[in-house]
Homo-oligomer: A and B are copies of this chain.
Amino acid sequence: MDTLVDRQKILSERLGQAATITDPVDMERYCRDWHGDVATGAVAVLRPASAQEVSEAVRLCAELQLAIVPQGGNTGLALGGIPDNPSGQVVLSLERMNSIRAIMPDDFSAVVEAGCVLEAIKNEVEAAGCYFPLALGAQGSCQIGGNVSTNAGGINVLRYGMTRELVLGLEVVLADGTIWSGLSTLRKDNRGVDLKQLFIGAEGTMGIITAVAIKLLPQPEQIETAMLALPSVEAAMALYRRARRDCCDLMSAFELMRPEAFSFARMAYPDLPMPLSTEYPAYVLMELTGGGLVDVKALMEGFLTREMESGEVLDGVFAASRQQALNLWKVREGMNEGQAMYGPHLRTDLSVPLSQVAAYIEEASNAVARLMPDCLVAAYGHVGDGNIHFNILPPRGASPDEVAGRIKQGKTLLFDILDRFNGSISAEHGVGRLKRDDFEKRLPEAQKLMLHALKNALDPQGRLNPNCQISRSEHEISH
C-alpha cells in the first residue's frame, strides 16, 4: 500500500497539476458542506476538464484503490458530495467542465457540461430566446451535474417537474471508466429501458454525470405574483385545488407560509416592508407564468377577485411590478435566512399526499407544542407538491448538547408521524449521507435488494460515492 503522499504524488503526476489539488487548505472548500455543519478531508481533489479526463481519473483511482466522491457546486443539503473517509476518498469536482456545448432554440434543447453553474445556463439560454425552468436558491453556485445527480427540486416544480423531467440525455463516466454518450436531444425516444433514469437522483453512486442534454421552453414573458392570507392551512390547500383547476397549468408556484415566516424574514432583513398584516393563520405566495396570447394578468385578477369576493381569501396583495413581486419573494427567502441566523436547528424536507398537508402540519405542530414546548416551529414549503419544510428551532441559549438533543428528538417525532402519513423523508434534497440511516431503516426489503443488485451491477467494487444513499457494508472496497 502506498502512503498518502505517494498516492497524492501519483495522482498529480498522472492527471496533471491543474487537475489535482492536494494542499489541505486549498481542499477545504470542497470538503465542507453548504451549511457549514461538517468539515472533512480527502486524499485529493481532482478537477478533470473533459469526460476523457474524468475517465482517466476514475481508472487511476481504481489502480490506487481510492473511492470517488463526485461533486458539483457543493451546495447540496444532504452531504452527498463531501467525503466521509479522508484517507480513502478523493473528491472529483466537475467545475472545470463548464462549457455550454450547444443551444438549439429550434430543438427547444441545449447540451451543457456538468460543471456549468445553473444561473449561467439560465442566462445563456435566455439570451437565445429560451427558458430553462429549474430555479432554486443556490442557482448562482450550484452546477447542473449536481442538479441532475440530486434530481433537484426548487420553486418551479409545480409546473415543470423535478430536474428529472427536464433531462433529455446524459453523458456519464461509469465506474470502470467507460464513457457512455447518451446525449440525445430527442423529445420522444422509447427505445427500451431508459438508462439515464438510473443516474438521475443517484447522487453519483451509479456513475459520474459529465454532460446533460436539457429541455428548453419558450421564455414566459408574463409573471404575476400575489401573496394571500387565509384562515387556515386547510383553507390554503383548498385554495390550491381551486387554483389548480382555474389557472389551468399556468401556476408555477404555490408556497405556503405561516405567520412566523414574517418574524424570521425580519430577522434577516430588518427593513423589509411587510406586505400584509402578520396576524393571519396562513399565507400563500402564488405565481402564474405565461406568455404569448394568454393574458396572465387578467387570469390572476379574475382568480383573486373571485376568491376575495367569496370571502375564502381574507386579504391579499397582487404585485403591480416585478420589484413588488421580488419583495414578496424576499419574505419567502428571508424566512430561510432568518432561520439560518437563528443557529443550529432541525431542517426537514418532507412530503405527504396532497390531501394530507394540513393534517400533517397540524399533528406535527401539536406534538412539538406538547413535547418540545420550548422550541419554535417553522413549517412552510412547496405545498402544491405536498412538500413541507417542517423545521424545529431549539430555544436560544441552549447548550450545544441540548441543541443536538432537541434536533434528534424532533426528527424522531416528525418522522414517526410522517410514517403514519406514508410520507417521504426526502421530498427534494436527496438522501446523501445525512439521511442514509433514516432512509435505509424504512426501506422495504424488496427495494433494498434491488438497490444493492443495481449498485453491484454498475459499480461492483463500490468505488463511486460509497456510503451515500446506501451504506457501504455490502459494497466494501478494499484499501
Interface residues of A (CB under 8 A from B): 104, 106-109, 150-151, 153, 157, 161-162, 164-165, 174, 178-182, 184-195, 197-198, 200-203, 205-206, 217-218, 220, 241, 244-250, 290-294, 299, 302-303, 306, 351-355, 382, 385-387, 422-431, 439, 444, 446-447, 449-451, 453-454, 456-458, 469-470
Contact = CB atoms under 8 A, between A and B. Distances in A.
A188 B157 contact: yes
A213 to B, nearest CB: 10
A444 B191 contact: no
A423 B453 contact: no
Contact of A186 (B109, B353, B456): B353
Nearest to A157: B188
Contacts of A306: 293
Contacts of A153: 188, 190
A197 B353 CA distance: 20
A54 B265 CA distance: 55
B195 A447 contact: yes
A250 B247 contact: no
Given A174-B446, A248-B294, A191 B426 contact: yes
A355 B187 CA distance: 11
Given A245-B291, A293-B246, A107 B184 contact: no
A424 B189 CA distance: 6
A169 B354 CA distance: 15
Given A245-B291, A457-B456, A193 B186 contact: no
Nearest to A247: B292
Nearest to A206: B193
Contact of A422 (B184, B294, B428): B184
B248 A186 contact: no
Contacts of A428: 188, 190
Contact of A193 (B189, B193, B198): B198
A150 B191 CA distance: 9
Contacts of A454: 193, 195, 198, 454, 457-458
A107 B356 CA distance: 8
B108 A191 contact: no
Contact of A294 (B151, B217, B250): B250
Given A184-B424, A192-B451, 10 more contacts: A178-B449, A180-B444, A182-B444, A188-B424, A192-B202, A246-B293, A247-B292, A247-B294, A294-B294, A456-B457
Contacts of A450: 174, 180, 195, 198, 458
Contact of A191 (B189, B190, B290, B439): B439
Choose among A161, A444, A450 the residue with the greatest number of B CB atoms under 10 Å from its CB: A450
Nearest to A450: B195
B250 A248 contact: yes
Given A165-B165, A174-B446, A249-B249, A244 B430 contact: no
A106 B354 CA distance: 7
Contact of A430 (B180, B190, B354, B431): B190
Contacts of A164: 194
Nearest to A430: B190
Contacts of A290: 248-249
Nearest to A299: B293
Given A293-B247, A447-B182, A424 B190 contact: yes
A454 B106 CA distance: 35
B188 A386 contact: yes
Given A247-B293, A426-B191, A107 B355 contact: yes
A187 B250 contact: no
A424 B197 contact: no
A104 B178 CA distance: 45
Given A290-B249, A456-B457, A194 B200 contact: yes
A249 B165 CA distance: 15
A471 to B, nearest CB: 12
